[in-house]
Structure 1
Amino acid sequence: MELVKTKGFYVFSILYIIFISIISIYLNGFVEFDPTNYKMLFIAIILWLLLYIPIPISVMKAKYEISEFGFKITKALLISLPIFLIFILPKANYDISINTLYWAILFSFARVGEEVFYRGFIYTLCLKLFKNTNTPWNWAIVLSSLLFAMMHTQYDFGIMVSTFILAIFLGLLRHITDSILIPIIIHCALAGGILTIIMGIFIYFIFVLIGFLRKEKVLELVKLR
């Protein structure tokens, strides 16, 4: 029964990934996003919300832990984080106007959603699917990065290749730190300024707090991966 349940969840997960991929490819490639069009903005928010949905479903139906999706504080993360902040923060836009706050909330919700879906959900799913291989994390990085790049059909082929390379880098950071916090910070920094980064970090720690309240092991400071 447990095996059937697991297979059923994997089938659901793969179908959900295909569903999200088709919608993302269509909307990004064939629909020009206009944030001033509230109907289009509403559709975009619904899509971004769908990126978060697999996490609670995985926790409730497949008994995953939230921390498995990269919501944890590790020794490697604490060592790596200051290094990236030194490079990112001086170059960030420090505009803190009301209008900037609006865009920061919007962009952080979208960009964190992408990290949660690709380097959180898909990455973790690949680790499970390829657990019997020598290096399941290789499959997790490559497949999650490929799907991430394919979703960006609003760009030409050259930029999509660059996006794939960036995704590989973010995937490596996910593997090294066992966390998606640094990928979130980098992704938010590329999308906006300091407020977007702060909002992205805030969303991340909401998930960490939920994991902590669920008595999950969200603090792993014993060994360096």
Structure 2
Amino acid sequence: MNVSLRTIVDNLRQDKLYLFGAIYVLVFMLAAAVINYFTWTPDIVIVGEVTNLFWLLWISLYVPSFIFVWFSDFSLTEFGIALNKKVMIFVALTIVSSAWFYFQNPEIWLQLSWSSSLAEAFARTGEELLFRGFVYALILRLFKEAKKPHLWAIILSSVLFVLPHTQVFLPEHQTPVFQLLLLALIFAYFRHKTGSILLSITFHVLIKSDLVGVLFSWGIYLFFLLWSYATNDLTKPRQAIT
């Protein structure tokens, strides 16, 4: 995993859009860290508790995907928006298992309100799109000369995901920071093995929400997938990095 810092700096200098992406992520992380620590409360997505500040934060999770797809050679496929055999098997297994659990306990269908499930789906899907999607892809490119760029992408994207979650240091928060890092590493590994962020989106939303939230998140993923096909994004030239 040897790679020089000078190589990373040179890659950032050669492409100003890479530099913009790195700065955007750092600024977002700083803003999210401050907002999460000073304004987070338990069950924040319950109707009436989500402030405009959080909605602005969640919307900003999606911004890099649009900018980099429109103005660079990055593709949505690079961001983990893909429909391949592994993803299709996962979708089929999820539908079958969800149906079984639903018939065993119909209450798992909707454990929050519809609006809260939608808010969770929007926020968690955005987190996956930014960190396991954009950040992961950007690290792959910046570390393209390393022996195993995907290891850098898995580790660094997971660490960067954890850093803005400063609410874990509040006494009323129940999730230890090490547990959050472990989940991030697992999600990033899923992304590497399947080439898609759909698995991490599904489990992330399911942890925070319910089956309705998962359906909402799949709808968001489907939007990006259709956009990818509609714009011939799959034929876009890209760097092959594994």
Partner of 1:221: none
| Counterpart Cα distance in 1 of 2:194 and 2:88 | 8
Deviates more, 1:4-13 or 1:137-146: 4-13
Partner of 1:29: 37
Deviation at 1:87, TM superposition (A): 5.8
Check if 1:66 corresponds to 2:76.
yes
Secondary structure of residue in 2 paired with 1:151: coil
Residue type at the aligned position of 1:94? W
Check if 1:102 corresponds to 2:115.
yes
Residue type at the aligned position of 2:152? W
Match of 2:65 among 55, 67, 88: 55
Match of 2:193 among 176, 193, 197: 176
Q: Which runs of 5+ in 2 are unaligned?
A: 1-10, 236-241
Cα deviation code 1:88-127 (max 9, x no counterpart): 662882128xx72111111100000000000001000011
CA contact (8 A) 1:185 1:200 kept: yes
Change (3 A) 1:187 1:39: closer
Residue type at the aligned position of 2:72? A
CA contact (8 A) 2:12 2:18 kept: no
| Counterpart Cα distance in 2 of 1:201 and 1:35 | 19
Identical pairs, percent: 27
Deviation at 1:76, TM superposition (A): 2.3
Secondary structure of residue in 2 paired with 1:43: helix
Deviation at 1:84, TM superposition (A): 5.4
TM-score, with length taken from structure 1: 0.86
Check if 1:140 corresponds to 2:153.
yes
Q: Which runs of 5+ in 1 are unaligned?
A: 219-224
Check if 1:76 corresponds to 2:86.
yes
| Counterpart Cα distance in 2 of 1:10 and 1:216 | 19
Secondary structure of residue in 2 paired with 1:139: helix
Cα RMSD of the aligned pairs, angstroms, is 2.7
Secondary structure of residue in 1 paired with 2:109: coil
Secondary structure of residue in 2 paired with 1:217: helix
Check if 1:187 corresponds to 2:187.
no
Match of 1:19 among 27, 30, 33: 27
| Counterpart Cα distance in 2 of 1:4 and 1:161 | 30
Partner of 1:222: none
